[in-house]
Amino acid sequence: MGSSAREMTRLDAPSTIQPASAPPPWRAPLDAVAPFLRHGPSARALLTALELGVFELLPPDLATSPDELRRMLSLPPESMALLADLLVGQGALARDAAGRLTPTPALLAALAHRDLLEAKLFLGLAAERDLLAGLPALLGDRPAFMARAETFRLFDYRPAETGADPAAVARWVRLTTALTTAEAPAFLAHADLGGHARLLDVGGNSGEFARALCAATPGLSAEVLDLPGVCRAGEAHLARTAPDAPVRFRPADFRRDPIPEGFDLVMFKSVLHDWPDAEAEALLTSAARALAPGGRLLVFERNGRGLDRGPVTPDTAPHVLFAPWYRGPDRYVRTLERLGFDLRLTTVEIDLPFLLLDAVKPA
Ligand SMILES: C[S@@+](CC[C@H](N)C(=O)[O-])C[C@H]1O[C@@H](n2cnc3c(N)ncnc32)[C@H](O)[C@@H]1O
Protein backbone atom coordinates (compact mmCIF):
# COMPACT_ATOMS: atom_id res chain seq x y z
CA MET A 1 0.00 0.00 0.00
CA GLY A 2 3.01 2.24 -0.55
CA SER A 3 1.40 4.70 -2.96
CA SER A 4 -1.76 5.13 -0.89
CA ALA A 5 0.38 5.91 2.14
CA ARG A 6 2.05 8.68 0.16
CA GLU A 7 -1.32 9.95 -0.88
CA MET A 8 -2.48 10.00 2.72
CA THR A 9 0.65 11.94 3.61
CA ARG A 10 -0.26 14.56 1.04
CA LEU A 11 -3.87 14.60 2.24
CA ASP A 12 -2.80 14.80 5.86
CA ALA A 13 -4.27 18.24 6.54
CA PRO A 14 -7.77 17.56 5.12
CA SER A 15 -7.92 14.22 6.97
CA THR A 16 -7.72 16.14 10.27
CA ILE A 17 -10.37 14.81 12.60
CA GLN A 18 -12.64 17.69 13.53
CA PRO A 19 -13.90 17.85 17.10
CA ALA A 20 -17.54 16.75 17.10
CA SER A 21 -20.15 19.23 18.32
CA ALA A 22 -20.26 17.52 21.73
CA PRO A 23 -16.61 17.22 22.80
CA PRO A 24 -15.47 13.63 23.39
CA PRO A 25 -15.06 12.70 27.09
CA TRP A 26 -11.27 12.56 26.80
CA ARG A 27 -11.24 16.32 26.13
CA ALA A 28 -12.69 17.11 29.58
CA PRO A 29 -9.38 17.44 31.53
CA LEU A 30 -7.78 19.57 28.80
CA ASP A 31 -10.83 21.79 28.46
CA ALA A 32 -11.04 22.19 32.24
CA VAL A 33 -7.48 23.47 32.65
CA ALA A 34 -7.29 25.53 29.41
CA PRO A 35 -9.01 28.70 30.77
CA PHE A 36 -6.23 29.07 33.35
CA LEU A 37 -3.42 28.87 30.78
CA ARG A 38 -4.22 31.92 28.68
CA HIS A 39 -2.13 34.69 30.25
CA GLY A 40 1.35 34.42 31.75
CA PRO A 41 1.08 36.60 34.87
CA SER A 42 -2.39 35.24 35.72
CA ALA A 43 -1.07 31.70 35.30
CA ARG A 44 1.82 32.63 37.64
CA ALA A 45 -0.67 33.90 40.22
CA LEU A 46 -2.57 30.62 40.08
CA LEU A 47 0.60 28.55 40.35
CA THR A 48 1.67 30.67 43.34
CA ALA A 49 -1.72 30.10 44.99
CA LEU A 50 -1.37 26.34 44.38
CA GLU A 51 2.15 26.39 45.87
CA LEU A 52 0.95 28.34 48.92
CA GLY A 53 -1.87 25.84 49.49
CA VAL A 54 -4.58 28.52 49.08
CA PHE A 55 -7.19 26.13 47.73
CA GLU A 56 -6.77 23.62 50.55
CA LEU A 57 -7.93 26.46 52.83
CA LEU A 58 -10.98 27.50 50.79
CA PRO A 59 -13.92 25.10 51.17
CA PRO A 60 -15.86 24.95 47.87
CA ASP A 61 -19.21 25.51 49.56
CA LEU A 62 -18.30 28.19 52.10
CA ALA A 63 -17.30 31.82 51.52
CA THR A 64 -14.06 32.71 53.36
CA SER A 65 -13.05 36.21 54.41
CA PRO A 66 -9.69 37.35 52.97
CA ASP A 67 -8.63 38.27 56.49
CA GLU A 68 -9.16 34.75 57.72
CA LEU A 69 -7.35 33.40 54.65
CA ARG A 70 -4.37 35.72 55.04
CA ARG A 71 -3.97 34.72 58.69
CA MET A 72 -3.92 31.05 57.71
CA LEU A 73 -1.37 31.80 54.98
CA SER A 74 0.64 34.28 57.09
CA LEU A 75 0.49 36.88 54.30
CA PRO A 76 0.56 40.68 54.78
CA PRO A 77 -2.87 42.27 54.04
CA GLU A 78 -1.67 44.03 50.84
CA SER A 79 -0.26 40.76 49.49
CA MET A 80 -3.49 38.92 50.22
CA ALA A 81 -5.51 41.70 48.55
CA LEU A 82 -3.32 41.57 45.44
CA LEU A 83 -3.35 37.78 45.17
CA ALA A 84 -7.15 37.74 45.67
CA ASP A 85 -7.56 40.37 42.90
CA LEU A 86 -5.42 38.33 40.51
CA LEU A 87 -7.36 35.14 41.28
CA VAL A 88 -10.75 36.87 40.99
CA GLY A 89 -9.66 38.59 37.76
CA GLN A 90 -8.87 35.28 36.03
CA GLY A 91 -12.04 33.56 37.20
CA ALA A 92 -10.46 31.26 39.78
CA LEU A 93 -12.18 32.84 42.78
CA ALA A 94 -15.52 34.65 43.12
CA ARG A 95 -15.95 37.55 45.57
CA ASP A 96 -19.32 38.25 47.18
CA ALA A 97 -20.70 41.65 48.27
CA ALA A 98 -19.04 41.26 51.68
CA GLY A 99 -15.65 40.62 50.01
CA ARG A 100 -15.59 36.91 50.93
CA LEU A 101 -13.96 34.45 48.57
CA THR A 102 -15.17 31.15 47.09
CA PRO A 103 -13.56 28.92 44.43
CA THR A 104 -15.47 29.20 41.13
CA PRO A 105 -16.98 26.14 39.40
CA ALA A 106 -14.37 26.62 36.63
CA LEU A 107 -11.53 26.38 39.17
CA LEU A 108 -13.07 23.34 40.86
CA ALA A 109 -13.32 21.65 37.43
CA ALA A 110 -9.64 22.40 36.78
CA LEU A 111 -8.58 21.24 40.27
CA ALA A 112 -10.20 17.86 39.51
CA HIS A 113 -7.17 17.46 37.18
CA ARG A 114 -4.63 19.06 39.46
CA ASP A 115 -1.57 17.15 38.19
CA LEU A 116 -2.33 18.26 34.65
CA LEU A 117 -3.04 21.84 35.75
CA GLU A 118 0.20 22.07 37.74
CA ALA A 119 2.28 20.43 34.99
CA LYS A 120 0.90 22.75 32.30
CA LEU A 121 1.30 25.85 34.47
CA PHE A 122 4.85 24.92 35.43
CA LEU A 123 6.02 23.99 31.94
CA GLY A 124 4.07 26.75 30.21
CA LEU A 125 5.58 29.44 32.43
CA ALA A 126 9.12 28.08 32.02
CA ALA A 127 8.66 28.00 28.23
CA GLU A 128 7.18 31.50 28.23
CA ARG A 129 10.19 32.85 30.17
CA ASP A 130 12.52 31.12 27.66
CA LEU A 131 10.66 32.63 24.70
CA LEU A 132 10.58 36.12 26.17
CA ALA A 133 14.31 36.01 26.85
CA GLY A 134 15.44 34.03 23.82
CA LEU A 135 13.11 33.98 20.81
CA PRO A 136 15.72 35.71 18.60
CA ALA A 137 18.22 32.98 19.55
CA LEU A 138 15.63 30.25 18.89
CA LEU A 139 15.27 31.66 15.39
CA GLY A 140 18.92 32.51 14.79
CA ASP A 141 21.18 30.37 16.99
CA ARG A 142 19.47 27.23 18.23
CA PRO A 143 22.48 25.75 20.11
CA ALA A 144 22.79 29.04 22.07
CA PHE A 145 19.06 29.01 22.79
CA MET A 146 19.19 25.39 23.97
CA ALA A 147 22.18 26.09 26.20
CA ARG A 148 20.29 28.89 27.96
CA ALA A 149 16.70 27.62 27.99
CA GLU A 150 15.37 26.54 31.37
CA THR A 151 12.89 24.17 29.69
CA PHE A 152 15.64 22.12 28.03
CA ARG A 153 17.46 21.84 31.36
CA LEU A 154 14.25 20.46 32.90
CA PHE A 155 14.28 17.62 30.37
CA ASP A 156 17.97 16.78 30.67
CA TYR A 157 18.22 12.99 30.11
CA ARG A 158 21.79 12.68 31.45
CA PRO A 159 20.94 12.08 35.13
CA ALA A 160 18.59 9.31 33.96
CA GLU A 161 21.52 7.57 32.23
CA THR A 162 23.96 7.83 35.10
CA GLY A 163 21.60 7.35 38.04
CA ALA A 164 22.65 10.77 39.42
CA ASP A 165 19.99 12.99 40.93
CA PRO A 166 16.94 10.66 41.07
CA ALA A 167 14.87 13.54 42.50
CA ALA A 168 15.42 15.63 39.33
CA VAL A 169 14.48 12.64 37.16
CA ALA A 170 11.34 11.99 39.23
CA ARG A 171 10.41 15.68 38.84
CA TRP A 172 10.36 15.70 35.04
CA VAL A 173 8.87 12.20 34.88
CA ARG A 174 5.96 13.59 36.94
CA LEU A 175 5.47 16.32 34.32
CA THR A 176 5.52 13.95 31.32
CA THR A 177 3.23 11.56 33.20
CA ALA A 178 0.60 14.26 33.79
CA LEU A 179 0.67 15.26 30.11
CA THR A 180 0.58 11.70 28.83
CA THR A 181 -2.33 10.83 31.12
CA ALA A 182 -4.39 13.39 29.21
CA GLU A 183 -3.09 12.32 25.79
CA ALA A 184 -3.54 8.54 26.12
CA PRO A 185 -7.38 8.53 25.89
CA ALA A 186 -7.19 10.66 22.71
CA PHE A 187 -4.83 8.09 21.20
CA LEU A 188 -7.12 5.23 22.26
CA ALA A 189 -10.13 6.95 20.67
CA HIS A 190 -8.29 6.66 17.32
CA ALA A 191 -6.43 3.34 17.58
CA ASP A 192 -8.01 -0.01 18.42
CA LEU A 193 -5.30 -2.32 19.75
CA GLY A 194 -7.61 -5.32 20.13
CA GLY A 195 -6.03 -8.67 19.23
CA HIS A 196 -2.51 -7.61 20.26
CA ALA A 197 -0.74 -9.33 23.15
CA ARG A 198 2.72 -7.80 23.75
CA LEU A 199 3.43 -4.07 23.59
CA LEU A 200 6.91 -2.52 23.64
CA ASP A 201 6.72 1.20 24.47
CA VAL A 202 10.07 2.62 23.38
CA GLY A 203 10.93 5.67 25.52
CA GLY A 204 7.78 4.81 27.45
CA ASN A 205 8.80 6.93 30.47
CA SER A 206 6.76 6.26 33.65
CA GLY A 207 4.73 3.46 32.01
CA GLU A 208 1.59 5.58 32.30
CA PHE A 209 0.88 5.46 28.55
CA ALA A 210 1.48 1.68 28.43
CA ARG A 211 -0.72 1.24 31.50
CA ALA A 212 -3.60 3.11 29.85
CA LEU A 213 -3.23 1.08 26.64
CA CYS A 214 -3.24 -2.22 28.58
CA ALA A 215 -6.24 -1.13 30.68
CA ALA A 216 -8.20 -0.44 27.48
CA THR A 217 -7.13 -3.65 25.69
CA PRO A 218 -8.01 -7.04 27.18
CA GLY A 219 -5.10 -9.49 27.02
CA LEU A 220 -2.44 -6.82 26.37
CA SER A 221 0.70 -6.61 28.52
CA ALA A 222 3.56 -4.18 28.06
CA GLU A 223 7.25 -3.59 28.49
CA VAL A 224 8.61 -0.04 28.75
CA LEU A 225 12.10 0.49 27.38
CA ASP A 226 13.71 3.60 28.84
CA LEU A 227 16.85 4.89 30.52
CA PRO A 228 17.64 3.28 33.91
CA GLY A 229 16.78 6.33 36.05
CA VAL A 230 13.47 6.78 34.24
CA CYS A 231 12.58 3.09 34.68
CA ARG A 232 13.21 3.44 38.42
CA ALA A 233 10.90 6.49 38.57
CA GLY A 234 8.34 4.58 36.47
CA GLU A 235 8.43 1.55 38.75
CA ALA A 236 7.78 3.82 41.72
CA HIS A 237 4.94 5.58 39.85
CA LEU A 238 3.14 2.35 38.94
CA ALA A 239 3.76 0.77 42.35
CA ARG A 240 1.95 3.77 43.84
CA THR A 241 -0.86 4.24 41.30
CA ALA A 242 -1.50 0.90 39.56
CA PRO A 243 0.42 -1.97 41.22
CA ASP A 244 -1.51 -4.62 39.26
CA ALA A 245 -0.89 -3.08 35.83
CA PRO A 246 0.68 -5.66 33.46
CA VAL A 247 3.61 -3.33 32.72
CA ARG A 248 7.29 -4.21 33.21
CA PHE A 249 10.35 -2.02 32.70
CA ARG A 250 13.44 -2.73 30.61
CA PRO A 251 16.25 -0.30 31.47
CA ALA A 252 18.26 0.29 28.29
CA ASP A 253 19.80 2.94 26.08
CA PHE A 254 18.29 2.62 22.62
CA ARG A 255 21.34 4.31 21.07
CA ARG A 256 23.47 1.32 22.10
CA ASP A 257 21.25 -1.58 23.13
CA PRO A 258 19.27 -3.62 20.59
CA ILE A 259 15.50 -3.22 20.40
CA PRO A 260 14.19 -6.50 21.83
CA GLU A 261 12.22 -9.00 19.76
CA GLY A 262 9.06 -10.85 20.78
CA PHE A 263 6.54 -7.98 20.55
CA ASP A 264 3.59 -7.68 18.18
CA LEU A 265 3.06 -3.99 18.94
CA VAL A 266 5.77 -1.31 19.13
CA MET A 267 4.97 2.24 20.18
CA PHE A 268 6.88 5.49 19.74
CA LYS A 269 4.94 8.15 21.62
CA SER A 270 6.55 11.63 21.54
CA VAL A 271 10.03 10.10 21.24
CA LEU A 272 11.33 10.38 17.67
CA HIS A 273 11.19 14.18 17.51
CA ASP A 274 13.90 14.26 20.21
CA TRP A 275 16.42 12.92 17.70
CA PRO A 276 18.11 14.24 14.56
CA ASP A 277 16.93 12.66 11.29
CA ALA A 278 19.65 10.00 11.06
CA GLU A 279 19.21 8.77 14.66
CA ALA A 280 15.41 8.82 14.44
CA GLU A 281 15.55 6.83 11.22
CA ALA A 282 18.01 4.29 12.68
CA LEU A 283 15.81 3.83 15.76
CA LEU A 284 12.65 3.40 13.73
CA THR A 285 14.41 0.94 11.42
CA SER A 286 15.74 -1.18 14.33
CA ALA A 287 12.29 -1.28 15.93
CA ALA A 288 10.65 -2.19 12.62
CA ARG A 289 13.13 -5.03 12.12
CA ALA A 290 12.66 -6.34 15.68
CA LEU A 291 8.85 -6.33 15.41
CA ALA A 292 7.20 -9.73 14.87
CA PRO A 293 5.99 -10.37 11.29
CA GLY A 294 2.38 -9.20 10.98
CA GLY A 295 2.97 -6.90 14.00
CA ARG A 296 2.11 -3.25 14.22
CA LEU A 297 4.29 -0.17 14.80
CA LEU A 298 2.70 3.10 15.90
CA VAL A 299 4.17 6.59 15.92
CA PHE A 300 2.18 9.18 17.85
CA GLU A 301 3.62 12.66 18.33
CA ARG A 302 2.98 16.33 17.64
CA ASN A 303 3.40 17.27 14.00
CA GLY A 304 4.44 20.87 14.69
CA ARG A 305 1.34 22.41 13.15
CA GLY A 306 -1.40 24.52 14.70
CA LEU A 307 0.78 27.29 16.16
CA ASP A 308 -0.73 29.81 13.74
CA ARG A 309 -4.19 29.44 15.26
CA GLY A 310 -3.85 32.18 17.85
CA PRO A 311 -1.49 34.11 20.08
CA VAL A 312 1.06 32.17 22.11
CA THR A 313 -0.18 31.37 25.63
CA PRO A 314 1.33 29.39 28.50
CA ASP A 315 -0.66 26.45 27.06
CA THR A 316 1.12 26.59 23.70
CA ALA A 317 4.49 28.12 24.69
CA PRO A 318 6.23 24.72 25.23
CA HIS A 319 5.26 23.67 21.71
CA VAL A 320 6.60 26.92 20.24
CA LEU A 321 9.88 26.07 21.94
CA PHE A 322 10.00 22.55 20.52
CA ALA A 323 8.50 23.49 17.12
CA PRO A 324 11.82 23.49 15.22
CA TRP A 325 12.33 19.87 16.30
CA TYR A 326 8.86 18.51 15.54
CA ARG A 327 8.71 16.95 12.11
CA GLY A 328 5.82 15.92 9.92
CA PRO A 329 5.26 12.26 9.03
CA ASP A 330 7.08 12.15 5.66
CA ARG A 331 10.40 10.74 6.87
CA TYR A 332 8.74 8.07 8.99
CA VAL A 333 6.46 7.16 6.09
CA ARG A 334 9.45 6.82 3.73
CA THR A 335 11.41 4.65 6.17
CA LEU A 336 8.51 2.30 6.86
CA GLU A 337 7.47 2.12 3.21
CA ARG A 338 11.01 1.10 2.33
CA LEU A 339 10.65 -1.76 4.81
CA GLY A 340 7.40 -2.84 3.12
CA PHE A 341 4.99 -1.78 5.90
CA ASP A 342 1.32 -1.13 5.19
CA LEU A 343 0.58 2.42 6.43
CA ARG A 344 -2.31 4.48 7.61
CA LEU A 345 -1.83 8.12 8.62
CA THR A 346 -4.26 10.19 10.67
CA THR A 347 -4.08 13.56 12.37
CA VAL A 348 -5.48 13.60 15.89
CA GLU A 349 -6.42 16.95 17.40
CA ILE A 350 -5.58 17.07 21.09
CA ASP A 351 -4.55 20.57 22.25
CA LEU A 352 -2.62 20.78 18.96
CA PRO A 353 -2.46 18.23 16.15
CA PHE A 354 -0.63 14.92 16.61
CA LEU A 355 0.34 12.62 13.76
CA LEU A 356 -0.73 9.01 14.21
CA LEU A 357 1.12 6.65 11.91
CA ASP A 358 -0.20 3.10 12.11
CA ALA A 359 2.08 0.67 10.27
CA VAL A 360 1.63 -3.09 9.82
CA LYS A 361 4.63 -5.29 9.06
CA PRO A 362 4.19 -7.81 6.27
CA ALA A 363 3.48 -11.26 7.68
C1 LIG B 1 9.79 13.23 25.31
S2 LIG B 1 9.87 11.87 26.35
C3 LIG B 1 8.38 11.00 25.94
C4 LIG B 1 7.99 10.04 27.02
C5 LIG B 1 6.69 9.26 26.78
N6 LIG B 1 6.76 8.42 25.64
C7 LIG B 1 5.52 10.21 26.72
O8 LIG B 1 4.99 10.44 25.65
O9 LIG B 1 5.15 10.74 27.77
C10 LIG B 1 11.14 10.87 25.61
C11 LIG B 1 11.47 9.59 26.38
O12 LIG B 1 12.58 8.94 25.74
C13 LIG B 1 13.47 8.47 26.75
N14 LIG B 1 14.82 8.38 26.22
C15 LIG B 1 15.64 9.41 25.85
N16 LIG B 1 16.81 8.93 25.44
C17 LIG B 1 16.75 7.59 25.54
C18 LIG B 1 17.69 6.54 25.27
N19 LIG B 1 18.89 6.81 24.78
N20 LIG B 1 17.31 5.25 25.49
C21 LIG B 1 16.08 4.98 26.01
N22 LIG B 1 15.15 5.94 26.27
C23 LIG B 1 15.49 7.22 26.05
C24 LIG B 1 13.37 9.54 27.82
O25 LIG B 1 13.87 9.08 29.06
C26 LIG B 1 11.88 9.83 27.81
O27 LIG B 1 11.17 8.99 28.67
Could you report the per-residue pLDDT of 261-291, keeping only the tens digit for each? 999 999 999 999 999 999 999 999 999 999 9
Is 261 in contact with 250 (CB distance < 8 Å)?
A: no
Domain topology for 2-25+176-360:
Rossmann fold (3.40.50)
Residue 3 confidence (pLDDT) above 70: no
The type of residue at 159 is: P
Q: Is the CB of 102 under 6 A from ligand 1?
A: no
Output the pLDDT for position 155: 86
Closest ligand 1 atom to Cα of 203: 12
Ligand 1 pocket test target in 274, 284, 327 with most atoms within 8 Å of CB: 274
Q: How far is the CA of 136 from the centre of ligand 1 (A)?
A: 28
pLDDT at 91 over 50: yes
Distance set, CA 187 to CA 73, 169, 229 (Å):
41, 25, 26
CB 321 within 8 A of CB 149: yes
The whole-number pLDDT of residue 22 equals 86
Check residue 20 and give its pLDDT.
55
Percent of the chain residues topping a pLDDT of 90: 91
pTM over the 0.75 mark: yes
Side-chain-side CA neighbours of 316 within 13 Å: the count stands at: 18
Residues whose CB is less than 8 angstroms from the CB of residue 269 and which lie 6 or more positions away in sequence, other chains included: 180, 183, 187, 201, 203, 204, 209, 298, 300, 301
Q: How far does the centroid of ligand 1 lie from the alpha carbon of residue 205, in Å?
A: 6
DSSP 8-state assignment for residue 301: E
pLDDT of residue 156: 87
Q: How many whole angstroms from 94 Cα to the centroid of ligand 1?
A: 41
Q: Is 110 helix (H, G, I), strand (E, B) or coil?
A: helix
Instruction: Determine whether the shortest distance from the Cβ of 325 to ligand 1 is under 6 A.
Output: no
Say what the pLDDT of residue 17 is.
Answer: 53
Mean pLDDT of all residues in the chain?
A: 93
Of 91-105, 124-138, 159-173, 326-340, the range with the lowest mean pLDDT is 159-173
Kindly give the distance from the C-alpha atom of residue 173 to the centroid of ligand 1, in angstroms, as a whole number.
Answer: 10
**Phi and psi based region of residue 306 (left: phi greater than 0; alpha: psi -120 to 50; beta: remaining):** left
* Burial of residue 339, with CB atoms counted within 10 A of its CB: 0-12 exposed, 13-18 middle, 19 or more buried: middle
How high is the pLDDT of residue 308?
Answer: 96
Average pLDDT value for residue range 325-332: 95
pLDDT for 134 equals 96
Confidence bin at 9 (pLDDT 50/70/90)? very low
- For residues 122 and 133, give the distance between their C-alpha atoms in angstroms, rounded to a whole number: 17
pLDDT for 15 beyond 50: no
Instruction: Return the pLDDT at 7.
Output: 36
Q: What are phi and psi of 150, to 5 degrees?
A: -60, -40
State if residue 160 touches ligand 1 by the CB under 6 angstroms criterion: yes
Q: Say how far apart CA 235 and CA 238 lie, in whole Å.
A: 5
Q: What kind of architecture, by CATH, is found in domain 38-112? A: Orthogonal Bundle (1.10)
For residue range 200-259, list pLDDT tens digits in order: 999 999 999 999 999 999 999 999 999 999 999 999 999 999 999 999 999 999 999 999
pLDDT score for 163: 83
Residue 269 Cβ contacting ligand 1 at under 6 Å: yes
Instruction: Kindly give the number of the ligand 1 atom that is closest to the alpha carbon of 160.
Output: 25
Q: Which atom of ligand 1 lies at the shortest distance from residue 273's CA? A: 1
Residue boundaries of the structural domains of the chain: 2-25+176-360, 38-112
Q: How many A from CA of 184 to the centre of ligand 1?
A: 16
Predicted pLDDT of residue 12: 43
**What average pLDDT does range 75-79 have in this prediction?**
96
**Which pLDDT band, with edges at 50, 70 and 90, does 162 fall under?**
confident
Find out whether 9 and 333 touch, Cβ atoms under 8 Å. yes
Lowest-confidence region among 23-27, 30-34, 41-45, 48-52 = 23-27
